[in-house]
Amino acid sequence: MLAFLANPDRFMAFSRWAAPILGVVAALLLLAGLALGFAAPEDYQQGDTVRIMFIHVPAAWLGMFAYLCLGIASFLTLVFRHALADAAAKSAAPLGAAFTGLALITGSLWGRPMWGTWWVWDARLTSVLVLFLFYLGYMALRAAIDDEVKGGRAAAILALVGVINLPVVHFSVQWWNSLHQGSSVFGAKAGDELPAVYLQPLLLMGLGYLALFGSLWLVRIRSEVWRRRANALALKRAEG
């Protein structure tokens, strides 16, 4: 699949129909997730703040998933010097930063009534903040270097360094004594699993976020391909 899409013309033909389809799928999943989420009963301890979980947890998942995509695309950029992989890495960064920023904001809005504080320097929160800073660093480094190829390669190295943070984010609640609760979906301990009434809207929202990321990622990679074609065209004209 990756080899097939590595050809820019094939990628543009594929993404032309895949992006809008994923966009429609995202809208349907998010609407269904919202409907089920607001129909779910209040939690006996958290009250209505449990509804923040339906938008917070998927944002954290996507923040990490987008970084994994950024890491893989950066690896392909460095090893194969493939322009489309570089475009994919560049396009994933702002979306991943947005999801991670949302995880931080919504987590803070949940933490204030439940923990009594907007922020605590806990291992999970701090490692997610580090993830957000890696996204910002990646974008800033790219923007700071005039030579696009050199900037892309330097940023790709930074992105690969940041991949080390992903297992830290995931396992932080196990490795350290964390205020943040442990996993209640993937790899949850017996007794910690979410009841179906909360799990269903959460999974629908998670899939909706994933489809939205997929759709917008494709749109942004297409923009990047067009931008590079437009710049090549402008250069050709300037050279006469």
According to DSSP, residue 179 is labeled: S
Distances (CA, A) of 136 to 88, 89, 90, 106: 16, 13, 12, 19
Exactly one of 73, 78, 102, 125 binds other proteins (CB under 8 A); which one? 102
Q: Which stretch binds other proteins (CB under 8 A): 70-78, 81-89, 97-105, 137-145?
A: 97-105
Q: Does 84 bind other proteins (CB under 8 A)?
A: no
By C-beta, is 79 or 140 nearer to other proteins?
140
| Alpha carbon distance, N-terminus to C-terminus of the chain | 39
Question: Closest approach of Cβ 217 to other proteins, in Å?
Answer: 9
Tokens 């609760």 sit at which residue?
181
Q: Give residue 32's Cα distance to chain centre.
A: 21
Q: Which stretch binds other proteins (CB under 8 A): 124-132, 166-174, 181-189, 228-236?
A: 228-236
Residue 83: phi and psi, rounded to 5, are: -65, -35
Q: Find out whether 132 and 165 touch, Cβ atoms under 8 Å.
A: no
Q: Which stretch binds other proteins (CB under 8 A): 121-129, 162-170, 196-204, 221-229?
A: 221-229
By C-beta, is 33 or 152 nearer to other proteins?
33
Q: How far apart are CA 114 and CA 117, in angstroms?
A: 8
187: left (phi over 0), alpha (psi -120 to 50) or beta: left
Exactly one of 11, 40, 56, 127 binds other proteins (CB under 8 A); which one? 56
Residues that bind other proteins (CB under 8 A): 42, 47-49, 51-52, 55-56, 59, 94-95, 98, 101-102, 105-106, 109-110, 112-113, 212, 216, 219-220, 222-224, 226-227, 229-230, 233
